[in-house]
Structure 1
Amino acid sequence: MSPFSLSDAPVTTLPGFRRTFPRGRLTLGIALPLVAGSAEHPAVDIGRQVELIRRAEEGGFATAWLRDIPLRVADFGDVGQVWDPFPYLGYLAASTSEIALGTAAVVAPVRHPLHLAKEAASVDHLSGGRFLFGIATGDRPVEYKAFGLEEGARADVFRENLDVMDQAWTTENQGIRWSRGRMWGGDIVPKPLAVRPPVLTVGSCLQSMEWHREHADAHLTYHRPLPTQQKYLAEWRDGVDKPFGMNIALDLHPDLDAEPGPIKFGWSVGARPLVRILHELEAMGVDHCILGLKRGTRPADEVLEELIEHVVPDFAATACS
């Protein structure tokens, strides 16, 4: 498709969306960096990370997910994957062929919406439609001040930025005016492969669930106790049939049969009980689970191989060209 042409194709036709959300069954994603126990000083050897992502792709993971953390903030103790998500996504797009590539999530209020529209549509093309554009409001007050944003304004700016992006993706040479700027006599290219890159809201984004249902193509949230998550999922699905995913922090126990114990936003658990839990989530209607290894105590490559052998086969992704 020409990068200068508008598309009316729904986002559900894109290979990244179909691989991650085949509907009716659960798929698995992996959160970057693929490293355990080093949230503040994670591995930054991109060559090694790409090796592990290719192994995840080969082993049946549906999606690799990147976080956007604009500033290193010592009080949070988590610097993310260090690299800015957009050049990293371009690098990963060239280094892989099937795995979907997602952001979980870009801090939309501190970025310019026209830059975001161009960056997201560019990765959409460069990845062959494998990109999933997760966006959020962020949670680090230092960042808002640094980028000239009042913390109390971020919910409004988030909504407005998404509206500007939608206009940039779906119009040609049409002026856009919003509270902090205007574009007149210009246009954003490339245009997305579908009507827009798939937009996933991540967390509350300080919006009502009604807003999420109307404006998001899918929704991601954090781990909660299963009964609580079931209620949250029912609220999301009230009147819509859009995908739902969740993040699970994982400390994979070396004993394959170790029963689950709580850790922050997830479980310490053996591979076999993890399969059981994931099937329970699948039966509940969860479409995708992102496994994060940073809170784990074992080497990430070792955990990845154990997941591929004992867990992923029950939830393996299929190729979607």
Structure 2
Amino acid sequence: MSVSALKKLIPSRRMTLGVELPLDNDWSPAGLQRAKKERRPFGVPNMEHHAEYARLADQLGFKSIWIRDVPFFDPNRFGDAAQLFDPFAYLGYLAAITDHVILGTGAIVLPLRHPYHVAKAAATIDQLSGGRLVMGIATGDRPVEFPIFGVEAEKRGEILRQSVRMIKEAWNKDQMLFDNQLDLLPKPVQDTIPLIMAGRGTQTIDWIVQHLDGWFHYPRGIASTQHQIAEWKKAHEDHGLTEIKPYISAYHLDLHEDPNHPPKPLKFGATIGRNELIRHLQKLEEIGVHHLAFHFRHSQRPIPEVLHELAEYVLPEFHHSNE
């Protein structure tokens, strides 16, 4: 029996820390100026150093690298192209250039993809990475995309539930598909690839708890996060589950050079010094956040510099050598 990538991601009760791609600071003042000079629209990152920075995150001991699924760039309503590259093709590349870091999707928009294509692509990534995939899934939040793909937006929740069932069946190593006549290969290295809901996906918390392996939710304040985790735990209790499945979040980080700089709020994060950041992360850990991914697009400092500082001072407060 192989060790689940989710167990590798969160090996103990301690919160672990990862990164969210793109590893670019294109939303910072300097990044905006650079994009203007390079004639890149807002929301389109510079991916020139993407491989170098991904390797660095892996080498420095970050637990995860998360990427998003954004089929179409919508500059007028969303202005965010994520990491540009197709998630599954890119995950195959990342699997080849990293050794330890968990590869996560935050998240694959299931209603816009055939579930068997998703199952085959994900199992391929799991094989290529040696069992390092955690697949976040979602229904999608960009209305313009649904008619392009011929999908009825109002049915996206139902489509997601059906897709989850079909994907799990395709990964089953003990039974072939379609009356035992056909099979979908390869199978995952893991017994099954962990499925994490990103956001609510038009589902109830009860359904998420019953059918998936964790919950990745948007960054929010301590009090709001604590209330949400309380709901998450109650759903487990209501279904007689004694082990709480992982609650995962993110944080938009502009790490200030002054270690004691007080937090200056950003949407979904803050400009903050490392000591104040550590205190904030400790509060998140106390209320039940299991894993958190740093997002650096607001960062006013070079990405490698920030990664090194986090690895030297912040990761040791949460990660331990035996993990």
After superposition, the Cα gap between the structure-2 partners of 1:62 and 1:289, relative to the gap in structure 1 and judged at 3 Å, is same
SS in 1 for 2:254: strand
2:45 to 17, 39, 42: 42
Q: Which residue in the other structure is 1:63 paired with?
A: 64
Q: Which residue in the other structure is 2:318 paired with?
A: 315
The answer as to whether partners of 1:125 and 1:192 remain within 8 angstroms in 2 is: yes
Q: Which residue in the other structure is 2:286 paired with?
A: 283
Q: Which residue in the other structure is 1:144 paired with?
A: 146
Q: Which residue in the other structure is 1:179 paired with?
A: none
After superposition, where does 1:79-90 map in structure 2 within 5 Å? Answer: 79-90=81-92
Q: Deviation string for 1:238-272 (max 9, x for gaps)?
A: 22421111111111122211111211111221111
Partners of 1:68 and 1:167 lie apart in 2 by: 23
The answer as to whether partners of 1:60 and 1:318 remain within 8 angstroms in 2 is: no
Task: Confirm or deny that 1:306 pairs with 2:273.
Answer: no
Per-residue deviation at 1:297? 2.6
2:230 to 231, 234, 239: 234
After superposition, the Cα gap between the structure-2 partners of 1:252 and 1:165, relative to the gap in structure 1 and judged at 3 Å, is same
AA of the residue aligned to 1:61:
F
TM-score, normalized by length of structure 1? 0.89
1:28 to 4, 17, 35: 17
Identity %: 39
After superposition, the Cα gap between the structure-2 partners of 1:164 and 1:318, relative to the gap in structure 1 and judged at 3 Å, is farther
Per-residue deviation at 1:125? 0.9
Unaligned runs of 5+ in 2: 28-41
Could you list the runs of 4 or more consecutive aligned residues of structure 1 that deviate by over 3 angstroms after TM superposition? 317-320
Partners of 1:18 and 1:319 lie apart in 2 by: 13
Partners of 1:223 and 1:23 lie apart in 2 by: 22
CA RMSD of aligned residues (A): 1.8
AA of the residue aligned to 2:120:
K
SS in 2 for 1:76: coil
Partners of 1:71 and 1:150 lie apart in 2 by: 17
Q: Which residue in the other structure is 2:258 paired with?
A: 255
Q: Which residue in the other structure is 2:194 paired with?
A: 198
After superposition, where does 1:170-185 map in structure 2 within 5 Å? Answer: 170=172, 172-175=175-178, 185=181
SS in 1 for 2:144: helix
The answer as to whether partners of 1:259 and 1:273 remain within 8 angstroms in 2 is: yes
Q: Which residue in the other structure is 2:33 paired with?
A: none
Per-residue deviation at 1:29? 0.8
Per-residue deviation at 1:141? 0.8
Q: Which residue in the other structure is 1:3 paired with?
A: none
Task: Confirm or deny that 1:244 pairs with 2:241.
Answer: no
Aligned residues: 300
Per-residue deviation at 1:319? 7.5
SS in 2 for 1:237: helix
Per-residue deviation at 1:295? 2.4
Q: Which residue in the other structure is 2:53 paired with?
A: 52
TM-score, normalized by length of structure 2? 0.88
Per-residue deviation at 1:318? 5.3
